[in-house]
Structure 1
Amino acid sequence: MTAHDRPDTLSALLAARASTNAVALFDRERAVSYPDLLDESARLAAALRAMGVQRGDRVAIWLPNLAAWLACFFACARLGAIGLAVNTRFRSAELADILLRSGARVLVTWPGFDRTDFAGVLAGCPPASLAALECVVAYDEGEAAALPGLPERIAVRRYAGLLEQPPLAGDDAAPDAGCAIFTTSGTTKAPKFVLHDQRTLVAHAFDVVHGFGIDAQSTMLLAPPLCGVFGVSNALAMIAAGRPFAMMPAWDAAAAARAIDAHGATHMNATDDAIAQLLAQNDRTPAFPTLRFVGFAAFNPALGDIVEQADARGLRVLGLYGISEIQALFARNRDGDPLQLRRNGGGFTVSPLAQVRARDPETGRVLAHGEDGELEFLAPSSRMVCYFGNPEATREAILEDGWYRSGDLGHTCADGRFVFRARMGDSLRLGGFLVSPQEIEECVQQAPGILDCQVVGATLDGAPRPVAFVRLQAGAALDEAAVVAHVGARLARFKVPARVFAVEAFPVTEGSNGTKIQKTRLREMAQALLGG
């Protein structure tokens, strides 16, 4: 299929794939064909329309990884409505905030799911937060489940009952119609709503097919949750390629390992934690012979050597880059890269239209290759439309010429790739230079007795200084002077931590793909420990 022949709406993409009876996905052991997925989504679209859902309305999809998640998503697209991807890890306060600010009219969830108490979390939402909600659609797999505590005015409908509707014949999908909202992590503020339209979701999916080498023999193990852009980008790429993927409602390393072998999975993108858990499922080398492309996103600082671990087991993994605003799988390193490059987040963009630059946040100067600054992206085939309901944040993030300010620290390289270093808010300005805390963290972690490390900035005697928080290996005691001497022998003086503190655990917040360390909280702790 040439670029000119490609569909530019989600409905057209699914309809094109449904012209054959090929398998779209495996929901655990159940094979779902493209015609099956099209029919289910069209029936859901008819039911949602009967409820009054129209173009631009928000339908909250609060489900684990199921065929039903994608059927709901494509049903919304068919109506020109917006599928609101709700993090399955949200608790009552977070869910209440999302439902209230989004104005979602319908919520689809699984009250009887045994891994998450969706019904209990929903029951904990204050009635005022449900003001716009008109209906809860309850998915089930034959188990008895209830939704207690809902206001009486909110209708409850069974998902299976909605499928009794005849398929909706019409299609109100449009390339420029907003179709998906993903929430940012919200570690310091309320999550922002990242709105994408159908054209860019489909275009990016085809860019990923080419950039990730997905071909007529490819199959995928879908590891990330569909409630985040990481999972959706993976699923849409496989649909764009017309190739199957296997998934399970919640991450289970043993089940994932069995699925990789059973389906001969060739591709997988996951967190470093998931890859480490997979490697523990067998003692073979190669660990998973069919896997030929494995990308990773770094979440666990204790797994800084995941590329080395995987290499030792015959599994080549490489760093990726993606964020909600320009979609996941935006860039990747290359299979033939040396280990040190494959460890980096970033790489080469999958879209030939994308451009990357780094800018000094203080002077506004566009920086030369190798100089760290704020990464900015021109991404016409993958950039968000806006932050839904937040024009001020949109104006701050998207420049007049269309470039997106990422808030990420990194640099470009002469060979065309870029390197992600850290979030700008986590970066340190030391000795007149922007410094990635990761450089200091990696050095601290090499000191005896240190399991992992997080470095933040604090003010001491009127000057910014790095402060290290460490978790210790079992049985080890912190020798602060030895750690400081270790770093001082290897890094510039201004990068040496002013203090090193041992903690049992780092403060975290739950993201759609895993836990993220709260650097803001660590900065507060550092400043307090240094005396305000």
Structure 2
Amino acid sequence: MSAKEFSLQSLIGTPAGNPAFVFDGAPISCAEFSGKVDQAAAWLVAQGIGKGDVVAVWLVNRIEWVALLFAAARCGAVVAAVNTRYRSAEVAHLLRVSGARLMVVEAAFRSIDFAAILADVAKDEVPALQKLAVVGADALSAQWPCVRFDAFDRPYPPAPPAQDDVDLPVLLYTTSGTTKGPKLVAHSQRTLATHAASVATALKLSPQRHSLLAMLPFCGTFGMTSLLAFIAAGATIHGLDAFEAAPALKILGEHGITHTFGSDEMFRRILALTDAPRPFPHLEVCGFAAFQPGWRELAAEAEARGMPLYGLYGSSEVQALFSIGRSSDAFADRIEGGGWPMSPDAKVRVRDVESGELAVNGFSGEIEISAPSRFLGYFNNPDATREAITADGFFRTGDIGRLRGDGAFVYETRAGDAMRLGGFLVAPGEIEDELKSCTGVADAQVVAVDLKGQARCVAFVIPAGEPPRQEALVARLRERLAGYKVPARIYVVDAFPVTDSANGVKIQRARLRTMAMERIASE
């Protein structure tokens, strides 16, 4: 195959009569999108951006975002995706680590004050940043020179011919982060385009039959991967600038959407807005990530109402939609995280975290992945890259799961969340599900702590009405679970500590562990 076949440009087809995108009700054809990519590439060159230069993109979902990524690929430049939820310290960290020379930024969006956030970024924190390009205004900050992003408004001299090195970095995602700030995950045109084509093929996407509601942010791999897969398929993409349940419900109902992807909470909010027994007759696949308690109950309700949820797996390093459940799976298997790899060339194995040996089918351990979708490495961080990749090229995911034995696998929990209790590796969800089945418990979270030199689990529960008694819950769990899985303490709380991420609201399990130790110490 030629390099061109692995480029982002190769994903753009010309399906007759099909708009490539619909944003805010306005259709954009494939030819129009290709024109916008040309215009954005010419604009980037006019701003002095060339091969290897990094452009930070701090935008909500809009056609400018997509055009800038494809244009950067044309120019050999790199896009650093900035989460619109980020605030000053996070923006400064990304700009500093990426070395971005230019940042394209929103003038304003709903309650986000981009100017105020930038005002808290010291210029000497981000020495590489030379100027801002503002979408929707002429200026945003007094600290850096500003230009208006006017690529679509006036002509610029055409960009040089496209770069043909498809193995250079083209897109940087941020990881979920550590106390030192997130690493930047680098992908090339080859890894992005190859995986997009694999997803389109595995899902059997047809430009005539299928369409996507893109309600996840393009700054994350979950939103970007689904977007690129439908571009590769030539199927229409209806985009939301940012997720809101009401417009999502409207588009799903009015445009015969067949596919959409999101968090469990997003689907829960959509379903809550309609009383219709089966409001989405055209939906075929709703891929979901389970971030909240109660996701199994949600999946059952959604199934009964014609919203078929499919568990999946992915990460910034191997891209989202790495794998997904199949319609031929039993329902309980189909909704589990994990599933069947999209690429026929992907390999998944599981390593025993105690012995370091490869695990047999059904045994839990760390998931390791080799696939064409695997990242190039952590941008400008070779030490972290070496630690993450095995000698034979598998990515150490840091996730715990097991092989099913039929070609699929099950994701169970993050390695940091898995609990070693009584000598066994235990996923918190197993205990949480039992707690949620108890009378008086609405939601539950379980974490492991060191209690007098022994690993024990502690539970936090949100009551449903009258708070349940700890003694009654412990007695119930002792009937249902092995003794080492029964929590040493069960605390009633009004809510769990959470963090907003690009893809949904996630429980702060580290904060729960701290809360558990503080409460035990106070006793």
TM above 0.5, yes or no, is yes
User: How far apart, in 1, do the equivalents of 2:448 and 2:391 lie?
Assistant: 32
Are 1:499 and 2:497 an aligned pair?
no
Would the aligned equivalents of 1:20 and 1:35 in 2 still touch at CA under 8 Å? no
Q: Which residue pairs with 1:205 in the alignment?
A: 196
Would the aligned equivalents of 2:43 and 2:151 in 1 still touch at CA under 8 Å? no
Correspondence for 1:157 among 145, 148, 151: 148
Would the aligned equivalents of 1:11 and 1:173 in 2 still touch at CA under 8 Å? no
SS in 1 for 2:6: coil
Q: Assess, with a 3 A threshold, how the Cα gap between structure 1 residues 128 and 316 changes in structure 2: closer, same or farther.
A: same
Are 1:485 and 2:483 an aligned pair?
no
Q: Which residue pairs with 2:297 in the alignment?
A: 305
The unaligned stretches of length 5 or more in structure 1 are none
Q: Assess, with a 3 A threshold, how the Cα gap between structure 1 residues 447 and 187 changes in structure 2: closer, same or farther.
A: farther
**Residue type matched to 1:322 in 2?**
G
Q: Assess, with a 3 A threshold, how the Cα gap between structure 1 residues 355 and 163 changes in structure 2: closer, same or farther.
A: farther
Q: Which residue pairs with 1:12 in the alignment?
A: 10
User: How far apart, in 2, do the equivalents of 1:400 and 1:162 lie?
Assistant: 50
Q: Which residue pairs with 1:286 in the alignment?
A: 278
Correspondence for 1:229 among 203, 221, 240: 221
SS in 2 for 1:531: helix
**Residue type matched to 2:426 in 1?**
V
Correspondence for 2:366 among 374, 382, 386: 374
Are 1:357 and 2:359 an aligned pair?
no
**Residue type matched to 1:39 in 2?**
G
Q: Which residue pairs with 1:63 in the alignment?
A: 59
User: How far apart, in 2, do the equivalents of 1:399 and 1:314 lie?
Assistant: 42
Are 1:129 and 2:129 an aligned pair?
no
Deviations 1:193-216 (A, max 9, x none): 000011010010011012222113
Q: Which residue pairs with 2:266 in the alignment?
A: 274
User: How far apart, in 2, do the equivalents of 1:262 and 1:382 lie?
Assistant: 34
Runs of 4+ displaced beyond 6 Å: 3-6
**Residue type matched to 2:379 in 1?**
F
User: How far apart, in 1, do the equivalents of 2:330 and 2:11 lie?
Assistant: 37
Deviations 1:290-337 (A, max 9, x none): 111111111121434111111221222111111110000000111132
Q: Which residue pairs with 1:176 in the alignment?
A: 167
Cα distance, 1:70 vs structure 2: 0.2
Correspondence for 1:516 among 503, 506, 518: 506
User: How far apart, in 2, do the equivalents of 1:162 and 1:29 lie?
Assistant: 20
User: How far apart, in 2, do the equivalents of 1:508 and 1:264 lie?
Assistant: 34
User: How far apart, in 2, do the equivalents of 1:339 and 1:24 lie?
Assistant: 33
SS in 2 for 1:301: coil
User: How far apart, in 2, do the equivalents of 1:163 and 1:369 lie?
Assistant: 59
Cα distance, 1:37 vs structure 2: 1.5
User: How far apart, in 2, do the equivalents of 1:115 and 1:168 lie?
Assistant: 36
User: How far apart, in 1, do the equivalents of 2:154 and 2:226 lie?
Assistant: 26
Q: Assess, with a 3 A threshold, how the Cα gap between structure 1 residues 167 and 252 changes in structure 2: closer, same or farther.
A: farther
Deviations 1:323-357 (A, max 9, x none): 11000000011113222112210000010011111
User: How far apart, in 2, do the equivalents of 1:429 and 1:177 lie?
Assistant: 41
Q: Assess, with a 3 A threshold, how the Cα gap between structure 1 residues 498 and 19 changes in structure 2: closer, same or farther.
A: closer
SS in 2 for 1:287: coil
- How many residues align? The count is 521
User: How far apart, in 2, do the equivalents of 1:467 and 1:4 lie?
Assistant: 56
Q: 1:468-483 alignment to 2 at 5 Å?
A: 468-473=459-464, 475-483=465-473
Cα distance, 1:188 vs structure 2: 4.3
Once the two structures are overlaid, the 10-residue window that deviates more, 367-376 or 290-299, is 290-299
User: How far apart, in 1, do the equivalents of 2:521 and 2:109 lie?
Assistant: 48
Once the two structures are overlaid, the 10-residue window that deviates more, 279-288 or 188-197, is 279-288
Deviations 1:439-483 (A, max 9, x none): 01111111111111111111112110011112222x321411111
Deviations 1:407-438 (A, max 9, x none): 00100011111000000000001111111111
Q: Which residue pairs with 1:346 in the alignment?
A: 338
Once the two structures are overlaid, the 10-residue window that deviates more, 218-227 or 158-167, is 158-167
SS in 1 for 2:238: strand
User: How far apart, in 2, do the equivalents of 1:228 and 1:32 lie?
Assistant: 23
Q: Which residue pairs with 1:435 in the alignment?
A: 426
**Residue type matched to 1:108 in 2?**
V
User: How far apart, in 2, do the equivalents of 1:6 and 1:218 lie?
Assistant: 26
User: How far apart, in 2, do the equivalents of 1:518 and 1:80 lie?
Assistant: 38
Cα distance, 1:115 vs structure 2: 4.1
**Residue type matched to 2:285 in 1?**
F
Q: Assess, with a 3 A threshold, how the Cα gap between structure 1 residues 135 and 6 changes in structure 2: closer, same or farther.
A: closer
Q: 1:324-339 alignment to 2 at 5 Å?
A: 324-339=316-331
Correspondence for 1:77 among 69, 73, 78: 73
Would the aligned equivalents of 1:77 and 1:173 in 2 still touch at CA under 8 Å? no
User: How far apart, in 2, do the equivalents of 1:6 and 1:132 lie?
Assistant: 31
Once the two structures are overlaid, the 10-residue window that deviates more, 364-373 or 125-134, is 125-134
User: How far apart, in 2, do the equivalents of 1:145 and 1:297 lie?
Assistant: 39
Would the aligned equivalents of 2:138 and 2:147 in 1 still touch at CA under 8 Å? no
Q: Which residue pairs with 1:117 in the alignment?
A: 113
Q: Assess, with a 3 A threshold, how the Cα gap between structure 1 residues 292 and 170 changes in structure 2: closer, same or farther.
A: same
Q: Assess, with a 3 A threshold, how the Cα gap between structure 1 residues 344 and 161 changes in structure 2: closer, same or farther.
A: closer
Q: Which residue pairs with 2:140 in the alignment?
A: 147
Q: Which residue pairs with 1:23 in the alignment?
A: 19
User: How far apart, in 2, do the equivalents of 1:310 and 1:155 lie?
Assistant: 47
Cα distance, 1:360 vs structure 2: 1.0
**Residue type matched to 2:275 in 1?**
D
SS in 2 for 1:425: coil
SS in 2 for 1:159: coil
Cα distance, 1:53 vs structure 2: 1.2
Deviations 1:150-187 (A, max 9, x none): 31x53333335775314425111422021110001115
Would the aligned equivalents of 2:435 and 2:441 in 1 still touch at CA under 8 Å? yes
User: How far apart, in 2, do the equivalents of 1:448 and 1:218 lie?
Assistant: 43
Percent identity, please: 42
SS in 2 for 1:470: strand
The unaligned stretches of length 5 or more in structure 2 are none
User: How far apart, in 1, do the equivalents of 2:257 and 2:186 lie?
Assistant: 31
Would the aligned equivalents of 1:47 and 1:162 in 2 still touch at CA under 8 Å? no
Structural RMSD (CA): 1.9
Cα distance, 1:25 vs structure 2: 0.5
Correspondence for 1:466 among 457, 465, 474: 457
**Residue type matched to 2:66 in 1?**
L
